[in-house]
Structure 1
Amino acid sequence: MIGVFMLTLKQLETFVQVVELGTFEKASQRLNATQSTVSKRIGELEQATGLRIFDRSLRNARLTEEGEQLLELAYLMIESANKIRELNRQSDCKLHRVRIGFTELTALTWLPGFLREYTLERPDIRLDVTIDMSRTLYQQFQDSELDLVVIPLVPEVFAQPGVEKLLLEKVEMAFMARAGLVSGPRPLPISELQSYTLISQGKRSGFAQDVNRWISHQGLAAPAQIADNLLALVGLVTAGRGISVLPRLCVQRFAQAQGLEVLDIVPQPPTMGYYALYHGGVRVSLLEEISLRLKKAADFTRPFFI
């Protein structure tokens, strides 16, 4: 009766060995099994399939017509099973490539340490790193050119289906200027900054766009000078060319000898959340694992070169 016995790979492998070696006895020797075990597996195979596989009226194991047809399928199934086993072996040593994008602030702070440690922790994962402005990174992420990006969260993400996000850290922002440039009692109302030149990163920076949007809501004019490079922007501020909203702790640490001043302004700029964004899908568990490791490493307060 069909279905009494379950069809198994071991039955098919035993069947193939009997056919190739010609007798149950030789097959049992090859399989390191007793002859009765081989006979039992063949019997179970016949009951599982409902087929009469061997002509037992002959001395040697000769296939019936049904057996010939089963043999072709048995070879295919065994071949497929071997490919699955090989796939499992390959997965142990396969190098997973992940394309990941970071902004300049990340590259100036915790990214070098993360890359150094993660490479030792996970030699099976190759991170292909891109450093660029957040808007450019987000566009590449949308175009599937990057698997994961670490950027300030942009409003479009909320409307993007299938995008996972994880907050890594919030960055404290502050108005900064060359010491002595901005006069007046402290705290200083933000309206008193109207007479100073505002310096900012350009439109490709999601960080700058969020800050500039907030500044506009406070009634201040748009930035008059643009410097897409964060270090260049800090250089302009330390030279007394104007004021800017900057990551407070990070800039204070690497420009501490340059006479920069954190301005006590009311209201102070909001903190900036940096997120890991990645697509859901077949690799979501890997990307989630990397994102959690990024969260553990994220520290935007300490420049790596100090």
Structure 2
Amino acid sequence: MSGRGRDEVTGLALYDQTAQDAAAAVIAAYSTSFGLASRMLGPRVRPHVRNVYALARVADEIVDGPASAAGLDTEAERRVLDDLEAETLAAIERGFSANLVVHAFARTARECGIGEDLVRPFFRSMRTDLTTAQHDSASHDEYVYGSAEVIGLMCLQAFVNAGRPAPRDPGPDLVEGARRLGAAFQDVNFLRDADHDGGALGRDYLGSATREQVLARIDADLAAAAAVIPRLPPDCRRAVTAAHDLFAALAVRLRRQPAATTRVRVPDPVKAALAARAWLGFSPWSARA
């Protein structure tokens, strides 16, 4: 089959663009907050970060309900997840996938230096959701590393390496900041979604940790991340600051609402104000400052 694409783009370039658009569509459908922050990224890195999050979202949906609603049992969900991991690793190696979201991710991985060392822990954490309902401190930390910290590290690879002729090491301070920010995001979401995770999915990610202990950990992780955000490339700082500040605001609201009666949200006008603040170049915000 042949034909001319939009704006006369054809062949692999058209396929790459279509895959990138597919990843953007996934993000637009699933996350308005992420969509807001990603629009603040410079064009050099924006599609790569969307590609990372789109793959993560597809994998998450396999274990968080849609696959089950389609009639898959736990073993079938595991096989689908295993197949997605295998296809992702193969696509990074060969540079092509018939799965558009995987193709977009593989393109980012090859350009930005995202390898098996980050991909496998992510899928390992996704598989944990099929087998582990009650976490302790150790399994929480392992799960958070694979489900959130490595996503931060993948994004960091894009921040540092998108558009470069060859990937380079971001450096230990940025690596630590990316991990801490990812961990804070995940712990905030654990607190926000505790009722749903426990009631609908039968999972307890926080184990014996008290709400105050988790909030203190979030504050420390956000502070550690804020310290290194100014060292990111200029076309990434505003978006990361906006995301950081949104989760700092969520943490404030979680502290004000000790009982998880409703899912805590940041009102749209406050989101807009935080985004504007970040866009103007202010340092990451902290309610503890």
- Structure with more relative contact order (C-alpha pairs < 8 Å, separation 6 or more): 1
Work out which of the two has the higher radius of gyration on C-alpha atoms and give 1 or 2.
1
TM-score range relative to shorter protein:
under 0.3
TM-score (norm 1): 0.22
Identify the structure with the greater helix proportion.
2
TM-score (norm 2): 0.23
